[in-house]
């Protein structure tokens, strides 16, 4: 019986390409991704990538969809009230984007034909209409939540301040005496800001829902 020798390098696959591209985006940003760079990282010839993806944009779309697939949608299926479901989903969505912030501009284009992105949109819209929201308002809620979550993942408010206490002269910035402490407390400040905004957003939606 003849046995084929195992290849020295793992066979090229769509999953390998997406995983490698995702790692590049995470480490260096969208500009780091090119077919030439990916081929080098994967140890293959450039043309072999075209058996899986025709363009760089298709690769980035696949990376975006892989990130969307990390978002938990179970809260829309387990009978939770719509507000609790939206809150849990928003936290899961932000966690995925926080881990992969450089892919946010691609995600911001909308789901297009991306399967996982469409599942997210379908789950949110379906849950809101099932809860009693009119379709038009359910659509607006999905858009509103996406704007808020993606905006929160685009950068850090706290991380935008330097940790040098001499940088903010009280003569010029009388209310920023403690601003130099924000950088070292970045995660805590940003998490609290996200929760504050999310609570305010959901409070407003709940008032609208009661008025239906």
The pLDDT tens digits for 50-92 are: 889 989 999 999 999 999 999 999 999 999 999 999 999 999 9
Length of the chain: 212
Superfamily of domain 14-65: Homeodomain-like (1.10.10.60)
- Residues 63, 25 contacting (CB under 8 angstroms): yes
Mean pLDDT of the chain: 92
pLDDT at position 10, please? 57
Which phi and psi (to 5°) does residue 71 adopt?
Answer: -80, 125
Structure tokens at 26: 């995470």
pLDDT at position 1, please? 43
Task: Look at residues 143, 113, 141 and name the one whose alpha carbon lies nearest to residue 128.
Answer: 141
What global pTM score does this model have?
0.88
User: Residue 79 gets which letter from DSSP?
Assistant: T
Q: Would you list the domain boundaries of the chain? A: 14-65, 71-211
Structure tokens at 68: 């969307």
- Residues 73, 120 contacting (CB under 8 angstroms): yes
Q: Which CATH class is domain 71-211?
A: mainly alpha
What is each CA distance from 197 to 130, 156, 190, 194, 203, in whole angstroms? 25, 14, 11, 5, 10
pLDDT at residue 186 greater than cutoff 50: yes
CA dihedral 21, 23, 29, 34 (to 10 degrees): -30
What is each CA distance from 62 to 85, 94, 124, 180, in whole angstroms? 27, 19, 21, 39
pLDDT at position 6, please? 47
Confidence of residue 12 (pLDDT cuts 50, 70, 90): confident
pLDDT tens for residues 78-127?
999 999 999 999 999 999 999 999 999 999 999 999 999 999 999 999 99
């Amino acid at each position: 019986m003849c046995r084929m020798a195992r290849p020295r390098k793992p066979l090229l696959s769509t999953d390998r390409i997406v995983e490698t591209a995702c790692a590049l985006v995470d480490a260096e940003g969208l500009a780091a991704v090119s077919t030439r760079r990916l081929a080098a990282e994967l140890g293959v010839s450039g043309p072999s990538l075209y058996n899986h993806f025709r363009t760089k944009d298709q690769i980035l779309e696949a990376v975006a969809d892989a990130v969307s697939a990390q978002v938990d949608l179970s809260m829309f299926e387990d009978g939770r009230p719509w507000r609790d479901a939206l809150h849990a989903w928003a936290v899961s969505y932000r966690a995925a984007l926080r881990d992969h912030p450089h892919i946010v501009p691609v995600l911001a284009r909308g789901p297009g034909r991306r399967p996982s992105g469409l599942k997210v949109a379908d789950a949110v819209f379906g849950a809101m209409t099932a809860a009693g929201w009119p379709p038009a308002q359910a659509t607006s809620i999905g858009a509103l939540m996406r704007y808020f979550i993606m905006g929160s993942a685009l950068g850090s408010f706290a991380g935008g301040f330097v940790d040098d206490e001499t940088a903010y002269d009280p003569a010029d910035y009388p209310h920023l005496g403690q601003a130099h402490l924000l950088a070292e407390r970045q995660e805590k400040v940003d998490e609290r800001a996200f929760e504050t905004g999310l609570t305010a957003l959901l409070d407003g939606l709940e008032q609208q829902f009661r008025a239906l």
